[in-house]
Amino acid sequence: MISVEMYQSEKAPEWDEFVSQSKNGSFLFFRKYMDYHQTRFKDASLLFRNQKKIIAVLPANVVETIVYSHQGLTFGSLLLSKKIQASQVLEIVDLMKNHYSGLGYTQLYYKKIPAYFSIYPAEEDLYALFRSDVQLYRRDLSSVIDLSSALPFSETKRQNVAKCLAENFEIKEITALEDYWEILELALEKFDAKPVHSLSEIKYLRDLFAENIRFFGVYKKDSLLAGTVIYDFGTVAHTQYMATNDEGRKAGALDFLIHHLVTEVFSSRRFFSFGISTNNEGKVLNDGLLLQKEMFGARAIVLDHYKLDLIGKSR
């Protein structure tokens, strides 16, 4: 018999231990990462046990009558044990629906973890949701380099790399985050946007997860021209933010930086991820942004979002 229970803060060590051993978990789902913005989100995470042993967890929050998995995270579907069986996931999804509907919630919005972030196949949840007549309501286009057989950079980007080398630009890990954050905020301001994290939040997270959250920059002598924040998931290196100032843009400094990260720093990873190039729930494609990623040799995968009615649904 599988049982379901609400997450409570005293279960954090048990939760984190399971996440570290799951087949599709990452540091994003450790409670210290999830809870850095706990005042913004009402947690509704679940744990599923088989004979007292956790076999799955769901990071989730609620707003009024809607359950989300989880709004404070890039994605956040069911995290599954390596030994879990499809029949158990079918049962877990039914338990999940019955639990939330019993508390008066009417819908679940579910963000599937992309397959390339898993260390072992983990799509039993998609089949279980299909059996519950789930609706695909959003599909974002993301870009990824397969580092085992990476496509070459475009000629333009190769020329920019050569130009930066000739200028004796240096690539170093950024320690003074204020310098980079100023460049990032100015770059996003042009698009009437802001970073998802505040400077204090990203500093806090970097201090907690120094091996996973790293900052790299291109320097002309002591002047920072461009930088990126890398979330290192062990098998995947993901560019959380990229930004450059005007001088760095003219020199192609970001091209130089990405080339170095792909061919040197993270060459042993399975994938190098650039994130999405879509807006308006996937309905609008930023062609220019996508082209830049394709010129690095990245190609498309999709990030799917599902909507499930919790009333009157069963497999």
Mean pLDDT across the stretch 135-160?
A: 97
Asked if 64 and 117 sit in the same domain, the reply is: yes
Task: Please determine, for residue 315, whether its predicted confidence score (pLDDT) is greater than 80.
Answer: no
Q: Is residue 293 part of a domain?
A: no
- Looking at every residue in the chain, the average pLDDT score rounds to 95
Asked if 45 and 127 sit in the same domain, the reply is: yes
Asked if 124 and 172 sit in the same domain, the reply is: no
Neighbours of 256 (CB within 10 A): 25
Distance, CA of 237 to CA of 229 (rounded, Å): 10
Supply the pLDDT for residue 311. 78
Reduce the secondary structure of the chain to three states and give it as a string: CEEEEECCHHHHHHHHHHHHHCCCCCHHHCHHHHHHHCCCCEECCEEEEECCEEEEEECCEEECCEEEECCCCCCCCCEECCCCCHHHHHHHHHHHHHHHHHCCCCEEEEECCCHHHCCCCCCHHHHHHHCCCCEEEEEEEEEEEECCCCCCCCHHHHHHHHHHHHCCCEEEECCCHHHHHHHHHHHHHCCCCCCCCCHHHHHHHHHHCCCCEEEEEEEECCEEEEEEEEEECCCEEEEEEEEECHHHHHHCHHHHHHHHHHHHHCCCCCEEEEEECEECCCCEECHHHHHHHHHCCCEEEEEEEEEEECCCCCC
Asked if 164 and 88 sit in the same domain, the reply is: no
Mean pLDDT across the stretch 77-94?
A: 98
Q: Is residue 292 part of a domain?
A: no
Q: Is residue 69 part of a domain?
A: yes
Asked if 130 and 158 sit in the same domain, the reply is: no
Token pair listed for 252: 């192609």
Asked if 134 and 19 sit in the same domain, the reply is: yes
How many domains are contained in the chain? 2
Which residues lie closer than 8 Å to 242 by C-beta, 6 or more apart? 226, 227, 228, 254, 258
Distance, CA of 183 to CA of 43 (rounded, Å): 33
Angle in degrees, CA 42, 48, 53, rounded to 5: 130
Task: Please determine, for residue 38, whether its predicted confidence score (pLDDT) is greater than 90.
Answer: no
Supply the pLDDT for residue 76. 87
Distance, CA of 295 to CA of 158 (rounded, Å): 10
Token pair listed for 312: 């009157």
Please state which of the ranges 26-40, 81-95, 153-167 shows the lowest mean pLDDT.
26-40
Structural domain including 259 reads 149-269
Residue 314's pLDDT band (cuts 50, 70, 90): very low
Q: How far apart are the first and last CA of the chain?
A: 18
Neighbours of 64 (CB within 10 A): 8
Asked if 120 and 160 sit in the same domain, the reply is: no
Q: Is residue 294 part of a domain?
A: no
Task: Please determine, for residue 27, whether its predicted confidence score (pLDDT) is greater than 70.
Answer: yes
Asked if 57 and 186 sit in the same domain, the reply is: no
Q: Is residue 67 part of a domain?
A: yes
Task: Please determine, for residue 50, whether its predicted confidence score (pLDDT) is greater than 50.
Answer: yes
Supply the pLDDT for residue 268. 97
Distance, CA of 298 to CA of 296 (rounded, Å): 6
Q: Is residue 275 part of a domain?
A: no
250-305 per-position pLDDT tens digit? 999 999 999 999 999 999 999 999 999 999 999 999 999 999 999 999 999 999 99
Asked if 238 and 180 sit in the same domain, the reply is: yes
Q: Is residue 315 part of a domain?
A: no
Q: Is residue 47 part of a domain?
A: yes
Supply the pLDDT for residue 312. 56
Say which CATH number the domain at 156 has. 3.40.630.30
Asked if 38 and 80 sit in the same domain, the reply is: yes
- Report yes or no: 154 and 295 within 8 Å, Cβ to Cβ: yes
Confidence (pTM): 0.93
Asked if 158 and 239 sit in the same domain, the reply is: yes
Asked if 14 and 91 sit in the same domain, the reply is: yes
Residue 205's pLDDT band (cuts 50, 70, 90): very high
Residue 313's pLDDT band (cuts 50, 70, 90): very low
